Structure 1
Amino acid sequence: MNRTNNRTQNRTHRGVRLAALAAALALLTGNAFAQNVLIRNATVHTASAQGTLKNTDVLVRDGTIAAIGTGLPAGSATVVDAGGKPLTPAMFGGVSAIGLDEVSSEDPTNDQSLALGQGKQMVVRPEFDVTLAYNPASVLVPIARVEGIGFTLLGADTANGGSIIAGQGAVVRLDGSADPAGPKLLFIQLGSDGAGLSGGTRASQWMLLDQFIDEVRGRIPTNAPMAMLTPAGRATLARFIDGGGRVMVGVHRAADIRQLLRWSQRHNVRIAIQGGDEAWKLAPQLAAAKVPVFLDPLSNLPRSFDQLGATLENAARLRNAGVQVAFSQSDKASHNARKIRQLAGNAVANGLSWEDGLAGLTRVPAETLGVGDRLGTIAVGKRADLVLWTGDPLDVSSTARQVWFDGRAIPMRSRQTELRDRYLRAAGTLPRAYPADAN
């Protein structure tokens, strides 16, 4: 009798699980097609010249923002009552390795740097493209997006050697898409962090960069003994000189930034700075050259001689001089991309305006990285990548209530929320790690 009862109970439990799974799939399927939504009565932080709009509705139709105003008719759209809470564009996760780095201590899961050559041999391969290794099914993707992160810049780095030219990366949206959302960027590492890849001195970095330019322009034949670039490398690098694509340069020291500005102006290279702990010392020059800076506002104590001038006021001083400021964690914290809101909040606490703090997480990175026509602001015609918050999005005590991609409400679940729910529920006769229906 007991066996019969147990079998009956097990079948019942399996039926409940299947029903729950079917319901979840139905919800996901519904979200996949529910692209018409009216978010009513929100405090809309547009991150644009329109500023903040209180008690405002945002109508999304076919995945695009169709109207912004008050008292908008819903029609057939699903209505979400924001209750006056903040609505922002989906945020930037910084320069990261989300989808390239699954377990930091496990080399086979790390795909953001190139390791070719032996010993001190320099291998220069600007054609290396980290986006080819991007995994949209990475567990880090939902962990970031349930925290309001909608896009990130996949960055190539020099952790495994190679040369001061690390390779290419691009923006990806964290909506499950497999392909980059924007144009490719080239990553270069200068200063003391790149000295080991340039003969042990930062002085040679400019010599090498000038040689690469000479190779691209044909002043050094491909078969010359001193040539370093492959034909593919020359073709790639050619796209980033003479006003071409954006080059992201990792550099901190003011003296190196000064040389970078001279080099970029000499060869008409469109640069952005990643790091820039001493960038505030050249704020007027950076503003005049229209060079944006992706910085970590928590970088206050020098970790190297390149960062002796680090200050919590870096963002405010740069912005006051007219420099466009965006945010990125200094250690490419792919597993903690959500903390980038804390960076912006600390910049605001140290003199940056709240509006510029939000812009550094939305509009500025989107425009700098070539996706500003679709992302980064709330405006009619833009993609409806949106986040509804429980409170001030620059306050870490606030959380994302709902995230939309193209107007689709995503399930607000990740591996971390699943672990939370598994281990915080009340224990039964078996330990809490067991499924609830096992008791």
Structure 2
Amino acid sequence: MIRHRIASKRFLAAAFAGLAAAALALPAAAQDLLIRGATVHTAGAQGTLQDADVLVQGGVIRAVGPGLSAPAGIPVVDGKGRQLTPGFFGGLTALGLEEVSGEPSTVDHRLALGSMAPPDAHPLRPEFDVDVAFDPDSLVVGVNRVEGVAWTVLSPASVSGGSFIAGQGSAMRLDGRFDGPLANSRSLHVNLGGDALAMSGGSRAGQWMLLEQAIAEARSGVGDDLLTRAGRSTLARYLAGGRVVFHVDRAADIRQVLVFARRHGLKAVISGGAEAWRVAAELKAADVPVLLDALDNLPRDFDALNATLENAARLHRAGVRVAFSNGDTHNARRLRQIAGVAVANGLPWGAALAGLTSVPAQVFGVDDRIGRIAPGQLADLVLWDGDPLEVTTLPVQVWSGGVALPMRSRQTLLRDRYAADEGSLPRAYH
């Protein structure tokens, strides 16, 4: 019996490894190609181009328009009028940082200080940087990449025993390579409101008190009540105009974020924003973007009593930059469905597409490289078999830096395995 169990475990491990290797094997070199005759959603100044071509050389888009000539030897892909978009943003996630939520050894985006030091010793740790734990070979990355998710922003999480200043994360392309974060995309993440009360003395006022004290420590460079030396140095860098993502929902709390960011010269981004529509004018005046979940329409707690499916549409009408994020690492690929729900509730289709492409790229400082189909942009492209904001639509082909990726993942391999005919043996033996 023991031998049988050991053999079974070895078989499962080998099968899992085989699936991982097959799902994540990627071509190494950038590819030249011409995609001809597609409906090209540039997510930029050119808008949508019918029956247009996209020329890629050295992994970079070189030209966009009708009737482009294919240089000698370059493969031509017939777009067949299908819709071509930039690779999509996956939201603020733990892609590459979390493999199995219930297995602690595979979860790297949470810092529980209670296990490291007394709870009153340096309780705020802005220096926590999740970028160094990113694993581009994660099976979760592969599952989302094959469905059109080209990049994400790594988001550290606040947990019990941790800090409501959760730490830092950057934008990462999901191309399976160890190239590191995209330059200029580093962000500090701060969790506010009801969800963070346990880490801030049980009071929203306590959150602002601690933030002000931490900033005083960072600016003076002395004191170690809240911050370590590394923490003071880290926070000081953001006080020089750095990007800070405030995870917050309640309208009153968002107003306080705007006041706080203006006072300290921070480049604020709102994530969540269930009640952001109520302060749309203030957000517009401050030029603060909102990353939201368009499915958030129920009063799930006292921070979201005024949640509505029209949040994105109302913010857009007020001139606020809107992008999408729901924090769902394993299902980042469903973010396009959330954008489609926003369209169904009044957001223009083009604005929804921008919320998955050009707007988040602009918000996180990477719009010179990704987020649009335009000359000079990296050729992260997706060709779809229908409207990309429809839940039943799937990618026909995904390109990363001009490389045509294998259209398979661990999930597609498992699907094909168990959808096949049983043959002479039961499916358990396939």
TM-score (norm 1): 0.89
The equivalent of 1:10 in structure 2 is none
Specify the alignment match of 1:278 in structure 2: 275
Which of 44, 65, 70 lines up with 1:69 in the alignment? 65
The answer for the alignment partner of 2:109 in structure 1 is 112
Q: Match for residue 143 of structure 1?
A: 143
Superposition map of 1:193-342 within 5 A:
193-218=195-220, 221-222=222-223, 227-243=225-241, 245-329=242-326, 332-342=327-337
Counterpart residue identity of residue 62, structure 2: A
Deviation at 1:433, TM superposition (A): 3.4
Larger radius of gyration: 1
SS at match of 1:250: strand
Shift of 1:120: 5.0
Q: How far apart are 1:160 and its partner, in Å? A: 3.8
**Aligned partner letter, 1:246:** R
Give the superposition deviation at 1:33: 3.4
Moved more, 110-119 or 74-83: 110-119
For the Cα contact (< 8 Å) 2:160–2:199, is it kept in 1?
no
Distance 2:243 2:112 in 1: 24
Which of 401, 408, 422 is the aligned partner of 1:427?
422
Other structure's SS at 1:358 match = helix
| CA deviation string 1:158-185 (max 9, x = no partner) | 0243222000011111101221124311
Shift of 1:85: 0.4
Aligned partner of residue 112 in structure 2, secondary structure: coil
Task: Report the Cα distance in structure 1 between the residues aligned to 2:302 and 2:60, rounded to whole angstroms.
Answer: 48
Corresponding residue SS for 1:352: coil
Q: What is the Cα deviation at residue 370 of structure 1?
A: 1.5
Separation (CA, whole Å) in 2 of partners of 1:60 and 1:51: 19
The correspondence for 1:100, drawn from 97, 103, 110, is: 97
* Runs of 4+ with >6 A deviation: none
Once residues 123 and 215 of structure 1 are traced to their aligned partners in structure 2, the CA distance between those partners, rounded to angstroms, is 13
Which amino acid counterpart does residue 227 of structure 2 have in structure 1?
A: L
- CA deviation string 1:389-409 (max 9, x = no partner): 001000111101101011000
- 5+ residue gaps, structure 1: 1-20
**Which stretch of structure 1 is more off in the superposition, 67-76 or 268-277?**
67-76
Structure 2 residues without counterparts, runs of 5 or longer? 1-17
Alpha carbons 1:36, 1:78 under 8 Å: kept: yes
Cα shift at 1:428: 1.3
C-alpha displacement at 1:303, in angstroms? 1.2
Give the match for residue 352 of structure 1.
Answer: 347
SS in structure 1 of the partner of residue 239 of structure 2: coil
1:8 corresponds in structure 2 to none
Counterpart CA distance in 2 for 1:221 and 1:314 is 43
- Matches of 2:141 and 2:353, distance apart in 1: 22
Report the residue type matching 1:317 in the other structure. Answer: R
The one-letter amino acid paired with 2:42 is T
The 3-state SS of whatever aligns with 2:300 is coil
CA displacement at 1:108 relative to structure 2: 1.4
Which amino acid counterpart does residue 240 of structure 1 have in structure 2?
A: Y
Check whether the contact 2:113–2:119 (CA below 8 A) recurs between aligned residues. Answer: no
